[in-house]
Every structure is written in C-alpha cells, then in structure tokens.
Amino acid sequence: MQDFITKAIPTGVYVITVRKGDTINGMTAAWVTQVSFKPPLLAVAIAPPRYTYKLIKESGYFCINTIPQDAMDIAKHFGFKSGKKTDKFKGYSYTNALKGSPVLDKASAYIECELQSTCETGDHTLFIGSIVDHAMLQENAEPLIFKWSDFFGKKG
C-alpha cells in the first residue's frame, strides 16, 4: 500500500530541522504539504517517537529543507537514525534561519515555520506552521521525488 500511495501522490523529500537552545536536530520527511492559501500554512506529519517531534513541541519552530535530486545520501543520513543519541549534523555544514533552525548548505530551498497548531492523526501528528523565513538556495536544482523503493526496498 505505501508504495502505491507514494506513486499515486508524489511528494518531495525534505529534512525537517529544529533548534531548542544549543540543541539542533533534523529528520527526513516526505509527508510535507501546504494546507492554507491565505495565510500560507504548511503541515508536516511527524510520528511521536521522533526526537524531532519533542524538539518542535518544545521550541515552537521547525524548518523545511528541500533536498535536491543529487543529494539522496543526505535524506538517508537524516532518515534512518535518531538524534536522541547521535549528532546528525556532524560533518554537515549549515547556517541558521531567522529563528535559529539549521539550514543545510546542500538544501535547494528552505522555509522556517512558527508552529500554529497540531493535529493528532493516526500514528502521526500534523505540525502546522506559518512562514517566518524562507529562501531559494539553488534556483535550478530539481527536487528529489520520494520513491518508496529508493529508501525502503520493494515492499510497502
């Protein structure tokens, strides 16, 4: 079913970053979408066990980093281990968005959001945010499109 949904409703691949004081973290997410036009609001579905979930709840901000087609290694790096025990930014250069969320140097664009509301839905929670900072970093880069089999094998 997952493989089918991913093909039927294509999405990009993103690294959702967050800062709480001196603590920074990032995790890969495919379930990212715009959910309001006026005002522009963006939603990210994050499962409660993620370290990123806890840090966004505590900080009230998150940042969507768009991963370009040639950077699948970054999506894998941030998507298969938790920042609870590892500093996933070790070896990855970044700058800070307006409210301090990390922006990966290799991201093609970023949008930093202020958390407006949350909505529990199944085994994930939607974090809905308004835009506080944004920039295009690589105008001509093609975004990485999420293919289930690229990350999780044939079954899904």
Ligand X SMILES: Cc1cc2nc3c(=O)[nH]c(=O)nc-3n(C[C@H](O)[C@H](O)[C@H](O)COP(=O)(O)O)c2cc1C
Given the rule CB under 6 A, which residues bind ligand X? 13, 25, 27-31, 45-47, 50-52, 75, 79-84, 124, 146, 151
CB of 38 vs ligand X, minimal distance in Å: 25
Whose Cβ is closer to ligand X: residue 115's or residue 139's? Answer: 115
Whose Cβ is closer to ligand X: residue 32's or residue 140's? Answer: 32
CB of 29 vs ligand X, minimal distance in Å: 4
- C-alpha distance across the termini of the chain, in Å: 6
Q: For ligand X, which residue has the nearest CB? A: 79
CB of 45 vs ligand X, minimal distance in Å: 5
The Cα–Cα gap between 76 and 6 comes to 17
Tokens linked to 54: 């806890």
